[in-house]
Amino acid sequence: MTGWADSLNQMSAMTDAATGFHPRAVSVVIATLGGPTLEKTIETLNRGSIVPAEILICIPAGEASRVAGFSFSNVRVLTTSCRGQVAQRIEGFRRARHDVVVQLDDDMLVDEKCLQYLLDILAKFHDVAVAPALVDFDTGESVYKLRKEAGYVRKIYHWLMNGTDGYLEGRIEKSGSPIGIVPDEGVREHYEVEWLAGGCVMHRKKNLILENYFPFVGKAYCEDLIHSHLLTQKGVRLLVASRARCGLEVSSAFDREFPRFLRETLEELVARKYFMRLSGRGLARMYLFYFLVVVAYIVKTLAKHANGVQGAHSGAHSSSRAKPD
C-alpha cells in the first residue's frame, strides 16, 4: 500500500476555498461486527489530510464489547438493535451530524488524501455520490485490472454477458455483472459510472437513502448495485474520483471449499435476481453467468487437484531415486 499512497501524497493539496466545505466536517459511517481490521481502518482515517469530525461505529448490541476498548476521540459507537450491513449503516446515516457523509467498510484502508480528493469532486456538483478507485493493497494495482488472458476469450465472454456492447468500464452488464473502473488520473479527473462499489462512498447528507433497501438476511450481496440503482432513481449521479485511492485485500471465491462456495453463490444469485427485477433487466444472461461461474470453479478445482497429484507423484519418484541401494 505504501507505493501508491506515497505517490498520491506528492500531489497538491486541495484548499478550503476549492471545496466549499469545512475540512473536518465529515461524518464517516462504518457498519461492522467488530472484525480484526476495524481498528486499522480507523487509524488510516485519522492519519488522513482531512480527519473526520466523527466516525460512527454501527455495531449490534451483542457485538459491542469488541469495540469497548477503542479510545479514538472522534469515534462514536452506536449500538444497533438490527444486524445486517445495510440496516446498521442506515442507523449511522440517520445519526450523522455533518453535511458530508462517507460510508466505509471495516476492512478498507483509505489513502492519506482519499477524503480530500473525494471532497474536491463532491464540491463541484450538487447531486452526486463519489467513490475512490479501489486498489489491492498488496500490489497497489486496481482490483479491476484485467488479467492477461486471451483477447478473443474475453471478447466472447463479454458478448455473452452484455451482447454487442461487450466490455464497458463503469457499467453493469446485461447479466447483472458490474464492471469496475481502472482510472487514468492523468486523463480525467473523474468518471461517471452506472454503479459504485459500496466499500467507500461519499455522499451529501441530503441525498442519503434512509430506508432499508436490502430485503435479505445475512451477507449483503449486490447491495451496492441496489443502492446505486436507487440513488440514480433519486437523481444522484455516480462518480469515481481518479486520484482518490482506497485499498483492500483481494480474495477469490474459487479458493473456498465447495460447500461454502455453493452456499455463497446461491445467496448472491438470490440477491442479484432481486436487483435485476428491480432495475428491469432480464434474467437469462444472469443464469448463464452463474452457470459459467460454477463450471469455472469445477475446472479450477480439478486442475488444482491434478497438479497436486502430479506434484505428489513427482516427489515420490524423486525420493525413491534418492534412496541408496
DSSP string, 238-257: EEEEEEEEEEE----GGGS-
> How would you write the pLDDT of the chain (325 residues) with one tens digit per residue?
444 444 433 333 333 344 444 445 899 999 999 999 999 999 999 999 999 999 999 999 999 999 999 999 999 999 999 999 999 999 999 999 999 999 999 999 999 999 999 999 999 998 999 999 999 988 889 999 876 556 788 899 999 999 999 999 999 999 999 999 998 877 899 999 999 999 999 999 999 999 999 999 999 999 999 999 999 999 999 999 999 999 999 888 888 999 999 999 999 999 999 999 999 999 999 999 999 999 999 999 998 878 765 555 555 555 444 444 4
Record the pTM: 0.87
User: 14, 120 in Cβ contact below 8 A?
Assistant: yes
The CATH number of domain 2-142+180-250, selected from 3.40.50.300, 1.20.1250.20, 3.40.50.2300, 3.90.550.10: 3.90.550.10
Could you give the C-alpha distances from 243 to 24, 77, 126, 147, 184, in angstroms and in order? 20, 31, 20, 23, 8
Determine the Cα–Cα distance for residues 171 and 189; give it in Å rounded to an integer: 18
- List the domain boundaries for the chain: 2-142+180-250, 145-176, 254-322
Coil vs helix vs strand at 232: helix
Identify any residues that bridge with 239 across adjacent strands, giving them in sequence order: 130, 192
Q: Which three cell numbers stand for residue 86?
A: 445495510
